[in-house]
Amino acid sequence: MSGQTPNPYAGFSGSQGVQANASPTALLIYEMPLSERKELAVLLKKAGYKVPTSGKYSDSLLTSYLDADQKRLLQSQNLGREFTVREYLLQEMPEDGTGATGKPSIREDIQIWNPTKIAGTVQDLSVKLLGREATAEEIDYLGKKLTKAQEKQATRTQYVTKDGKVTARVTGGLDEEQFLIDIFQKDKKFAPEIAAAKKKKETTEASAAELTRQDFLQTAIANGITLNQDQIASFEERLKAGEKVDAIKNTIRETAVLGLPDQVKKLASSGVDLATIYSPYKSILASTLEVNPNSITLDDPTLRMAIGPDKEMSLFEYKKALRKDPRWQYTENARETVSTGLTQVLRDFGFMG
């Protein structure tokens, strides 16, 4: 037995007793009164099925009924409302009642939205298009126009039964949301607000695009890369295609760490900029060579030597390496180191107490 309704057979009722391993539908038809079974057979016959109409139970009667039940279920799903087998068979019956096949039957359905659904849809579109909620008068005005349009544009379903096969073709109907959008956009009373909302949206989108562009540029700077306009345009196209901002920023980072150790690449892929990775080395470079840290860029070769293709220097190793830099000997730190060393030598030789 197919379908979700308590009794999809509608009018062809019989005993509901089911024996072990028996087909409930077969038993239902078998135990029908002869008059009901005959009525069922006649309706099946007129709808194009090849069945005897004597009213006796037969496999052909059962098979035809099961086929009709499956097709009425499909129709119920397509149209969003429940049909019984009786309704389906009556619908498939040719107008002349002869049982001839191939002749189409047509059904028209008019769908009228209830006030709650109209109000909800109008409010959503008003916020989207006007940037505000609709008034009660506007909901009433648009609702009446929508209802009138729905009454004029029914859904038309044409059924053709040929050789026991039913084909359904649905046409017509109304795209309610697009209908309401068209009224908002074409009605003069909404024109000023539509134009203002459109301009505001364009301004907001332009501001958002500029902020995103600056975000890309800042990420590039934080990774020692200079972006050209073609690259920025390419990133913006990827955004329009649905890619996330963070994914594009990681593309910049992945480019920046080419040739660096795997550990650095791993940090970059997790969203860490090279500026952050080099930050400890930058601090040591600035203090050791006594230079302004703001003057040290990520492409500074002295900073870059801290991390090579194969390994990263420890901070101690890096500081030792910096003292070999010619600039170090001119620093106050170097003079103090030399002075301290000389004092210690003099002490070692007993020239100082």
**CB neighbours of residue 43 within 10 Å:** 24
Distance (Å) of CA 276 to CA 121, 142, 226, 238: 49, 57, 18, 26
Domain boundary assignment for the chain: 24-98, 115-189, 203-259, 278-348
Of 177-181, 314-318, 340-344, give the lowest mean pLDDT range: 340-344
Q: Which helix (H) or strand (E) holds 172?
A: strand 165-172
Q: What's the one-letter identity of residue 234?
A: S
The answer to whether the beta carbons of residues 222 and 277 sit under 8 Å apart is no
Q: What's the one-letter identity of residue 132?
A: R
Distance CA(7)–CA(86), nearest Å, equals 11
The answer to whether the beta carbons of residues 55 and 41 sit under 8 Å apart is yes
Q: What is the pLDDT of residue 99?
A: 44
Tell whether the torsion through CA atoms of 231, 232, 237 and 239 is positive or negative: positive
The secondary structure of 219-239 as a DSSP string is HHHTTT----HHHHHHHHHHH
- Taking Cα atoms as reference points, which of 26, 24, 19, 12 lies closest to residue 59? 26
- Taking Cα atoms as reference points, which of 176, 58, 60 lies closest to residue 124? 176
- The token pair at 208 is 């958002």
87: left (phi over 0), alpha (psi -120 to 50) or beta: alpha
Q: What is the pLDDT of residue 16?
A: 46
- The token pair at 72 is 């009425």
* Cβ neighbourhood burial of 314 (10 Å; 0-12, 13-18, 19+): exposed
pLDDT digits (tens, 9 = 90+) for 276-292: 999 999 999 999 988 99
Q: Which helix (H) or strand (E) holds 165?
A: strand 165-172
pLDDT greater at residue 17 or residue 70: 70
Query: 158 forms bridges with which residues in the sheet?
Result: 106, 169
Distance CA(253)–CA(274), nearest Å, equals 8
Inform me whether the pLDDT recorded for 218 exceeds 70.
Answer: yes
Kind of pairing between the strands at 165-172 and 104-109: unpaired
Inform me whether the pLDDT recorded for 353 exceeds 50.
Answer: no
Q: Which helix (H) or strand (E) holds 106?
A: strand 104-109
- The token pair at 126 is 């008003």
**CB neighbours of residue 126 within 10 Å:** 21
Q: What is the pLDDT of residue 171?
A: 81
Average pLDDT over residues 231-238: 92
